[in-house]
Structure 1
């Protein structure tokens, strides 16, 4: 079959790779001049099975109420006159109900674990280098009550096979000596040795090259403007390239992997896609003193910020704004990242040579992504991965290819 994949981030590129491995003719269309130019460009870079937890949980509504007046809040809602946003928010509150959490955690952990194993297979087979580290992930806590409450989530993770070990402050510092300057502010943490980190941009661009060598056609600088359906089947996608030239790309199957922009493409066909953008920030710093910079990937639970060592760089990422589709940088949120990393790792980084970035994470109310076939038999979705796009990217692409081929994926997951 001829399969048209819309989007070339980690999700779209992984989907294209696995569809080509299954023997299909694959074309990838993306409005950017190359792969991984948007949300997959500069994210937190963690392969974080241990942190595959939904934002929506019983404790979140109270936290949101406390954060409403803070411009640097970890999760910030800015309500607009947009009924899609309001519907999303109502659905998010529903997912905060206690009975929703175990099901959502199970789905996320299953896909994240499967995807991590898939990534490891691909790394061994393809030899892709992307500044990856296999040193695990530490979650550390500054508040005793928050630390105690977090262990309920850790217990749930352990039920699903995630070895998230509780550690004292002293044990954390032994594991990651770079935490020593701020150890007096840390009350404890947990550690998952099997988790990883690595540059998603380097991986995705290398995978795109491998896919092109295997026969995948990439059409960059090309905007997908409309899906053309006839009799309940998608026949083609209309596109406009960088020179304004119109084209219709026909196919047998279409995969919408456009992240936060997927809903606007599929909505005219009556396809439900409850995805809304959550703008996240990152800052990348050169490491000036390697002895003071972390090598184990870290998560600061209080600030919802992650730290990943990428060769001679440190990537700091986090926070989320549900405020529409603007990627404009908020100076307050950027400066808070630099202030935080400066306090944690004094003298380790070139703070004056920072590269700030923002991206729109495609987020569902439950944080469980939308993967599978829609009401149109030849239109598939692979979107809604939120903060876990890199964590679940390789597995999501592989599972999507299985579904297109009529095979049962190897992972237990609530596919569409």
Structure 2
């Protein structure tokens, strides 16, 4: 076994450390869970009043293990004019006065190559499969209540050209061991009868039976509960904002918070988009930009009209997931800064498209609107592991795949600390 990362920080005679995790979203709590299971003394702090109240709150609800293609893709180049001027484009850019926005965009465009996209897909695929393995090998989590369903994921296409391209990509994945199946229009309707309402424009779909759906907010709450009931319960400090790191040389000596100073042997930054400003305090230039997305949560009105399979509409660029008696729709990727204000033109288009496609599925007038910020790196790859600060590690930059990758990156980080 190689030297454990944790040996670079102070530890008691058992080898266990006192560890503070900054961030109580799905990534931070998954990290806490792994470290609690390894026997460490863990404290989780978050500026919000409870777990999962930022980007994990109402995301797309898909555990998309088989679909990990990054936003940075060669096709971006031909779409670029539309991204700059089309107000209804699924990906939208609005220029601001933040130099980092332009630097991030240039790095993003540089990553829009076939070589980089393939490298990213390979790495994200490994992390996604590790996440699935961790979940399915965790009886306590599998028994928890967070609307988990082995629904599978069906991506539907409305043009022969896009469907043919998707089939070629799926064939490559199948050759490397991923279970994906190309379905014709009629096969899509057999698999998910609720798609009959858009059957006139469907040409086919790609089905991944291993993908799943769940409620990320409920999973955060359940992980918190399970850890609190364990034999090694962590401490949860909510309504606690970190104002600054107290640094001594190459190490962090403590955190200054609104509730006083906190100290530990090791610190882990897992605060989503908030990780960048915190990291800058200790000399880290984390390339994380907030990409805003929107979701609707709507009560199901008629069972037969609401999809039960997780559906992604390639033409509309929206995802639909069934969470018990609720239908969750999510879409849009706005590179417009870090504001959480809701653009009602964007959400209005989501509702209009949903009502046009699935008019009887839900009580659309009762839709609950939400906006969240995806912490995205230019390549789409998360940053997991040690930093130039000896006792600071990071688990950040998951973009739109935070829910899918959280358990995998948490396990990867815990393995690094333990020297596994």
TM-score by structure 2 length? 0.93
Q: Distance in 2 between matches of 1:232 and 1:380?
A: 13
- The equivalent position to 1:111 in structure 2, one of 115, 119, 127, is 127
Q: Distance in 2 between matches of 1:169 and 1:125?
A: 36
Long gaps (5+) in structure 1: 408-416
Do 1:109 and 1:160's aligned partners in 2 also have CA atoms closer than 8 Å?
Answer: no
RMSD of the TM alignment (CA)? 1.3
Match of 2:272 in 1: 259
Secondary structure of the structure 1 residue equivalent to 2:199: helix
The verdict on how the C-alpha distance between 1:104 and 1:159 changes in structure 2, with shifts beyond 3 A counting, is farther
Q: Distance in 2 between matches of 1:158 and 1:277?
A: 33
Decide which moves more: 350-359 or 206-215.
206-215
Q: Distance in 2 between matches of 1:226 and 1:140?
A: 47
Q: Distance in 1 between matches of 2:112 and 2:169?
A: 14
Decide which moves more: 136-145 or 308-317.
136-145
1:377-416 correspondence runs (5 A): 377-407=390-420
Deviations 1:342-392 (Å, cap 9, x if unpaired)?
Answer: 122121210110100000000011111011111112111101111111101
Match of 1:172 in 2: 188
> Is residue 137 from structure 1 mapped to residue 153 from structure 2 by the alignment?
yes
Deviations 1:228-252 (Å, cap 9, x if unpaired)?
Answer: 2111011111111xxxx4x111011
- The equivalent position to 2:364 in structure 1, one of 351, 357, 364, is 351
> Is residue 366 from structure 1 mapped to residue 379 from structure 2 by the alignment?
yes
- The equivalent position to 1:42 in structure 2, one of 33, 43, 58, is 58
Decide which moves more: 104-113 or 81-90.
81-90
Secondary structure of the structure 2 residue equivalent to 1:271: coil
The verdict on how the C-alpha distance between 1:124 and 1:284 changes in structure 2, with shifts beyond 3 A counting, is same
The verdict on how the C-alpha distance between 1:50 and 1:22 changes in structure 2, with shifts beyond 3 A counting, is same
Do 2:83 and 2:93's aligned partners in 1 also have CA atoms closer than 8 Å?
Answer: no
Once the two structures are TM-superposed, the CA of residue 335 in structure 1 deviates from its matched residue by 0.8
Match of 1:341 in 2: 354
Match of 1:227 in 2: 245
Do 1:106 and 1:160's aligned partners in 2 also have CA atoms closer than 8 Å?
Answer: no
Secondary structure of the structure 2 residue equivalent to 1:184: coil
- The equivalent position to 2:204 in structure 1, one of 172, 188, 191, is 188
Match of 1:10 in 2: 26
Long gaps (5+) in structure 2: 1-16
Once the two structures are TM-superposed, the CA of residue 12 in structure 1 deviates from its matched residue by 0.2
Q: Distance in 1 between matches of 2:182 and 2:319?
A: 18
Once the two structures are TM-superposed, the CA of residue 159 in structure 1 deviates from its matched residue by 4.0
Deviations 1:286-316 (Å, cap 9, x if unpaired)?
Answer: 0010011100000011222110000000000
Q: Distance in 2 between matches of 1:345 and 1:102?
A: 35
How many correspondences in the alignment?
402
Q: Distance in 2 between matches of 1:17 and 1:98?
A: 36
Q: Distance in 1 between matches of 2:67 and 2:244?
A: 36
Do 2:56 and 2:217's aligned partners in 1 also have CA atoms closer than 8 Å?
Answer: yes
Match of 1:411 in 2: none
Q: Distance in 1 between matches of 2:351 and 2:204?
A: 23
Q: Distance in 2 between matches of 1:203 and 1:365?
A: 28
The verdict on how the C-alpha distance between 1:277 and 1:405 changes in structure 2, with shifts beyond 3 A counting, is same
- The equivalent position to 2:337 in structure 1, one of 302, 324, 333, is 324
Do 2:319 and 2:329's aligned partners in 1 also have CA atoms closer than 8 Å?
Answer: yes
Do 1:303 and 1:319's aligned partners in 2 also have CA atoms closer than 8 Å?
Answer: no
Match of 2:45 in 1: 29
Q: Distance in 1 between matches of 2:236 and 2:175?
A: 42
The verdict on how the C-alpha distance between 1:311 and 1:292 changes in structure 2, with shifts beyond 3 A counting, is same
